[in-house]
Structure formats: C-alpha cells, structure tokens
Amino acid sequence: MRKKFPADIGATQFLQRYWQREPLITRGALPQYAAIITRERLMKLAGREELESKLVIRARGRWIVRDGPFTTRDFARLPHRGWTLLVHGVDLALASAARLAAELSFIPYARFDDVMVSYAAPEGGVGPHFDSYDVFLLQAQGRRRWRVGHQANVDLVPAAPLRILQRFEPDREWVVDAGDLLYLPPGWAHDGIAVDECITCSIGFRAPHAQELAERFLDYLRDRMSLAGIYEDPGSTATREPARIPSRLVDASVETLKRIQWSTTDVVDFLGRYLSEPKPQIVFSRPRPALDPATFTRRARKHGLRLALATRLLYRGSTFFINGESVPCPRSALPLIRNLANDRTLAPPVTLSAEASRLMHEWYGAGYIELSD
C-alpha cells in the first residue's frame, strides 16, 4: 500500500496542508500513465452498457449532452472541435486504471469513488463547475488549460443540461501536460479546456451527503428493528372533535419512537455494507467451469490471488465487508485477508489455512476474487 504522494511530498504533509484545503499542482507526478488508454479504446468502453458514459458538445453557444452507450457511428458524426467524451468507472474495466487509483491508496478505500476518463477534442470541456468531492486530475495525453477559483457565488446557468456556473471567477490558471497532476478540494470551481486533443483521468473520492447517509441508515434500521406492542387507549372519553389528533396518541407515539436505538456496532456494520456496495450496474463474472476447492487452493498457493476489478473489500476489526456483504473472518485468516484488502493482491506463495481456503473459494465462486496469472 502506497504511503507517499506521487511527487516530492509526503502523504502526511499533503493531507495536513492541502487535503480539503487548497488545490495543488504537481508537474510530472505520474508520467508512466501517459499511455493509460487510447482514444479508440475509450470509445469502445463508451459502448458498454455497464459503464456510464456521456458526450458533452458545445455548439453555437449552447450545451448539448447525450448519454451512452455509444456506437462508432455516433463518434463519426461529431465536429472536429468543442466536444468531450466522459466514461465513468474505467477502473472497473482496465487494470491500468485500477493501478492509477492505487497510487493514491494512502487515502482510505472507503472514500474512493471511481476513475473517470475523458477524451476532449480541441476546445472541448464541460464548462465551469464545482464538485462536492475531492478529485485528482491527471493529464494523460495532450494539454489542457485549467482555471480554478474558490468563489462564493455558486448560481447556475438556468435550464442548462449541466451544472454550469453562471458567473465563474477564477483566480489561478495552469496549462498541464502529460504526467501533471492537479488536486482540487470539494467546492473549488474549475474549468478545463483542451488546448489540443487530450485525455484526462479524474480520480474521485466521495464524501457521502448527510441526507443520503441518514436515509440509507434508516433503511438499514428498518430491516433490522423489531418494536413490540400496539397503541392502546382504554378509558378514552367521547370527543366533540373527531378530526383532532388526540394528545394521548401523540404522547404514546413519541414514547414508542424513543425506543428506536442503535449502537456503534450498528453504524459500523451499516457503513461497511454501504461503502463496499458495488454500483447497481455491476455484474460479477463467475468462473466457468469453477475449480474444485482442492485444485483452487493448490493454484492459489502457487500463483497468488487478486480481487476482481469491481470488488470492494473493507474491514473493521475482524469483520470484513465485501461488495455490500458482512463476513465474519476466522482468526487464523485475519492477517491474510487484511493484506488482500489493503494490497488487493496476494503474491505467491500464498499460505492458506483450511478456514481461509474455504472463504477464498467461496469468494472465487462468486466472482469476487481471481487467480493471478
């Protein structure tokens, strides 16, 4: 697991000085990802149902947005300038994009969202906007001009198909080249325009909104709580106002709802499931044919194991959360599975206890882990 920011700065220094505080531009931070993907490969990914994709076109002073999946014919009709293709979840399809995300693994996986990759024709962009999450913008190919500002006015252009700022007020500007990395905290307005055709990778780190977190937690509680009893009102008197809600019913309901309780253990279990839950369109490929347990264990020991690209594996104490499921872990398997969760791979030779072998074979059968090549 990486401990250093991809530049001559420690992870601790970056987190204390810049994280959620100030933008940071680092030149030549990750030049090895210049060839992470070609335009043609990105366009093919934009044709896949399980990956969210979008075309943003600026034409005659107005914005046009189209949702994928797209075909080759869709791209052939585009102008030579002023458009952008966005593909989300590229880390679920390309191991190189997953490795790019791992360059920032000093930030907890619980915060990681996805790697979105964009291709922009010259003058392409998505307009000045701001995000509610932390984002690292790696320039893979070509050049892009970024303008950034921390403004108070966040009024949006009325009726626009994108959340575009009506009055963008940048206070700093950079032209980035291949390998340059720009970090932006939440709420910082930014606008990126392609100087020439370019590819940009956006590594996003989500921060759950309080309202969403509360709603999902209440859903979690609803499926797990059990309150006994019903409302009773013996000795009631006749009313002259039958439409009036009785005070006795209000008071009894208040006392009933006070009985809804939860613990830190409940919150941890909810967070583990919620934060490891794969996106709705994700489908895990089960091995066909699947290896029997003995053959699987033998090959795992020899070749190693890795998480499937789409798998999210988190843990707290001795409980692991994999793809929205809570899994108590045998004590003998704790160090091994923690290493798998943190590094996303187990290099050979892999020593598997009988308990660990049974659990790994179960995850293998579900398509959550794979044998390494």
pLDDT (tens digit, 9 = 90+) per residue, 220-276?
999 998 999 999 999 999 999 999 999 999 999 999 999 999 999 999 999 999 999
pLDDT (tens digit, 9 = 90+) per residue, 104-157?
999 999 999 999 999 999 999 999 999 999 999 999 999 999 999 998 899 999
**What is the pLDDT, as a whole number, of residue 4?**
61
**What is the pLDDT, as a whole number, of residue 350?**
93
**What is the pLDDT, as a whole number, of residue 1?**
45
Q: What is the DSSP string of 23-88?
A: -EEETTS-GGGTTS--HHHHHHHTT-TTS-EEEEEEETTEEEEEES---HHHHHTS-SSSEEEEE-
**What is the pLDDT, as a whole number, of residue 71?**
95
Residues 40-71 as b or e (16 or more Cβ within 10 Å = b):
ebbbebbbbeebbbbbbbbeeeeeeeeebebe
Q: Which CATH number fits domain 11-205: 3.90.79.10, 2.60.120.650, 3.40.30.160, 3.40.50.720?
A: 2.60.120.650
Residues 6+ apart with CB under 8 A from 134: 19, 20, 111, 183, 184, 185, 186, 204, 205, 207
pLDDT (tens digit, 9 = 90+) per residue, 166-192?
999 999 999 999 999 999 999 999 999
The mean per-residue pLDDT over the stretch 41-54 comes to 96
Band of the pLDDT at 2, cuts 50, 70, 90?
very low
8 A C-beta contact, residue 162 and residue 86 = no
Q: What phi-psi label fits residue 219: left (phi over 0), alpha (psi between -120 and 50 degrees) or beta?
A: alpha
> Which of 147, 138, 111 shows the shortest CA–CA distance to 28?
138
Band of the pLDDT at 8, cuts 50, 70, 90?
confident
Whole-structure pTM value:
0.91
**What is the pLDDT, as a whole number, of residue 123?**
96
Task: Mention the CATH class of domain 209-222+262-373.
Answer: alpha beta
Compute how many other C-beta atoms are within 10 angstroms of the C-beta atom of residue 129. 18
Compute how many other C-beta atoms are within 10 angstroms of the C-beta atom of residue 132. 9
Residue range(s) of every CATH 2.60.120.650 domain in the chain: 11-205
Residue range(s) of every CATH 3.40.366.30 domain in the chain: 209-222+262-373
pLDDT (tens digit, 9 = 90+) per residue, 299-352?
999 999 999 999 999 999 999 999 999 998 888 899 999 999 999 999 999 999
